[in-house]
Amino acid sequence: MPTEYSNYVGGEWTDARSGETFETRDPANPDEVVATYPQSDAADTETAIEAAVAASAEWGSTPGPERGRILSRTSALLAERKDELTDLLVREEGKTRSEAGGEVQRAIDIFDYYGAKASDLGGTVKSSSARNTNLYTENEPLGVAGLITPWNYPIAIPAWKIAPALAAGNAAVIKPASLAPGVVHEMATALEEAGLPDGVLNVVTGPGSEVGDTIASHPEVDAVSFTGSTAVGNTVYDTATDDGKRVQLEMGGKNPTVVSDSADVEEAADIVASGAFGVTGQACTACSRAIVYEDVYDEFVDAVVERAEAIEPGPGLDDPDMGPHVSESELESTVDYVGIGEDEGATLETGGAALDREGYFVEPAVFSDVEPDYRIAQEEIFGPVLSVIPVGGYEEALDVANGVEYGLSASIVTDDHTEANRFVDEAEAGVVKINEKTTGLELHVPFGGVKASSSETYREQGDAGLDFYTISKTVYDSY
């Protein structure tokens, strides 16, 4: 039987006022309904925001170590339920079990990290130019944070928004993506059991046009953190900044890996294939462009094609090499882009076809002979499609790497130390890696992009994750 979830508002589990619901289905078996959720509207969202407002002052005045203990207990509860959370994530989003288990562990680690960081929150002490004066700063919570999160990392991204928001003393309202909201509800359950006061976290499911727009526009929401597509993110930004909200956006990517002629080609193919085809290419940091020096181009194409053809897609619970797309529309979009690449004149070396089986499965695709201005080399595909672009050397590689509207993650595979250092300095990306895949993040350092990948306002994760949810007050204490 499908699990029936409710909204979590003011410490209570409630249905949408309309009584309407929607379903999630297993992408590997679309006939199977996984769970049902409230189809909430603006009025439901307003109630959740009111609950957050009512709880914000008391939570904001709660000592940081006490807040941290609740987050740490939440981490422990999530760890106890890791297997069931992993299975739920797989059944709604489609990741392989190994990928989903890694993501759940990331959420566990995030709550543990911010549980400890909550005790360190404070300001700085400065020496005053006046006698008999203490001069210092205090970091205060903003009030109410509105969080809008995507389906592709349905527990990790909510965790890295919720945990710092609560650690800093804010109340929050979160709208999880409708394709895979279950793990957010389970996270709210863990926070409730850990002792989080009523109203500090509120979970509302439903369409972005109702729930998301209300969060972005409501006058009592003080900050909005959004992760998703660039088109939607720009709309959220315009709406939220109309009344001066603090806004943080993390959006799309068209991430390159440069392969130098000094690189070990087999190692480079491993790095690129992992970044391109992991999580079915459904990551904002996925590698979608391999920019390869001509001297090793043919050898690299052969090597990465071999890796793509070795991948066997299957249901995530079976822990295959690659899971399905999350939905039929995502699968259709990937297949459409494969057709666009062929029409543009690129050579489809392998893959790109939907599998003739139940579920939203596709073969990983590799294109060669791709020109930098082709749509498949410019637009975010969000599927396991790799464009391999030949270049004459470093200068051309850099131009191609930077020649897109996005700037999230970029990597270079090289044994040339000068090339590596130049790429760090010259790549237009918020995350730059040397001899590593474009995907994969440490939780204690900042994450974010540039150009159309980000609002370029505040970073997420680490200490930077706390900066977004606090504001500094300067105190002059004369005695």
Selecting among 92, 93, 186, 250, the annotated active-site residue is 250
Would residue 444 count as lying in a domain?
no
Residues 68 and 194 in one domain: yes
Residues 325 and 428 in one domain: yes
In the block, which residue shows the tokens 């005790």? 119
Give yes or no for residue 22 having a pLDDT over 90. yes
Residues 267 and 246 in one domain: no
Would residue 446 count as lying in a domain?
no
Tell me which H or E stretch contains 288. Answer: strand 287-293
Would residue 220 count as lying in a domain?
yes
71, 118 contact by CB (below 8 A): yes
* Sheet architecture: strand order including 29-38: 3-4, 29-38, 21-26
Q: What radius of gyration do the chain's Cα atoms show? A: 23
pLDDT in tens, 70-113: 999 999 999 999 999 999 999 999 999 999 999 999 999 999 99
Question: What is the reported pLDDT for 463?
Answer: 94
Residues 224 and 259 in one domain: no
For the beta carbon of residue 238, count every other beta carbon within 10 angstroms: 11
- Tokens representing 398 are 């850099």
CATH assignment at residue 94: 3.40.605.10
Q: Are strands 7-9 and 3-4 parallel, antiparallel or unpaired?
A: unpaired
pLDDT in tens, 290-319: 999 999 999 999 999 999 999 999 999 999
Could you please report the per-residue DSSP string of 401-465?
A: HH-SSEESEEEEE-S-HHHHHHHHHH---SEEEESS-S----TTS-B--EETTB-SS--BSHHHH
Give yes or no for residue 139 having a pLDDT over 90. yes
Residues 17 and 49 in one domain: yes
Q: What is the mean pLDDT of residues 471-475?
A: 96
Residues 400 and 384 in one domain: yes
- Tokens representing 350 are 């392998």
Would residue 448 count as lying in a domain?
no
Least confident of 121-125, 194-198, 406-410: 121-125
Would residue 358 count as lying in a domain?
yes
Residues 300 and 347 in one domain: yes
Q: Please choose, from the candidates 3, 49, 52, the residue with its C-alpha nearest in 3D space to the C-alpha of residue 24.
A: 3
Q: 296 in the Ramachandran plot: left (φ > 0), alpha (ψ -120 to 50) or beta?
A: alpha
Q: 361 in the Ramachandran plot: left (φ > 0), alpha (ψ -120 to 50) or beta?
A: beta
Close Cβ partners of 76 (under 8 Å, ≥ 6 residues apart): none
330, 151 contact by CB (below 8 A): no
Q: What is the domain extent for residue 78?
A: 3-251+454-478
Residues 224 and 89 in one domain: yes
Residues 117 and 179 in one domain: yes
In the block, which residue shows the tokens 């679309």? 30
**For a pLDDT cut of 90, what percent of the chain falls above it?**
99
The band of 1, judged by pLDDT with boundaries at 50, 70 and 90, is: confident
Q: Please choose, from the candidates 388, 239, 229, the residue with its C-alpha nearest in 3D space to the C-alpha of residue 307.
A: 388
Tell me the residue ranges of DSSP E strands in 79-143.
125-126, 133-141
Residues 32 and 73 in one domain: yes
Q: Is 250 one of the catalytic residues? A: yes
In the block, which residue shows the tokens 């307003």? 46
Residues 247 and 307 in one domain: no
Question: What is the reported pLDDT for 109?
Answer: 98
HSE toward the beta carbon, residue 288, CA cutoff 13 A: 33
Would residue 449 count as lying in a domain?
no
Would residue 441 count as lying in a domain?
no
333 CB burial (10 A radius; 0-12, 13-18, 19+):
middle
Residue type, 252: G
pLDDT in tens, 193-213: 999 999 999 999 999 999 999
For the beta carbon of residue 274, count every other beta carbon within 10 angstroms: 17
Give yes or no for residue 141 having a pLDDT over 90. yes
Q: What is the mean pLDDT of residues 221-249?
A: 96
Q: Please choose, from the candidates 24, 25, 28, the residue with its C-alpha nearest in 3D space to the C-alpha of residue 323.
A: 28
- Average pLDDT score over the chain: 97
Residues 186 and 309 in one domain: no
CATH assignment at residue 371: 3.40.309.10
Our count of domains for the chain comes to 2
Q: Distances in Å between the alpha carbon of 251 and those of 46, 86, 150, 299?
A: 26, 25, 10, 34
Would residue 137 count as lying in a domain?
yes
123 or 150, higher pLDDT? 150
Give yes or no for residue 375 having a pLDDT over 90. yes
Give yes or no for residue 50 having a pLDDT over 90. yes
Give CA–CA dist 89/155, Å, rounded: 8
Give yes or no for residue 330 having a pLDDT over 90. yes
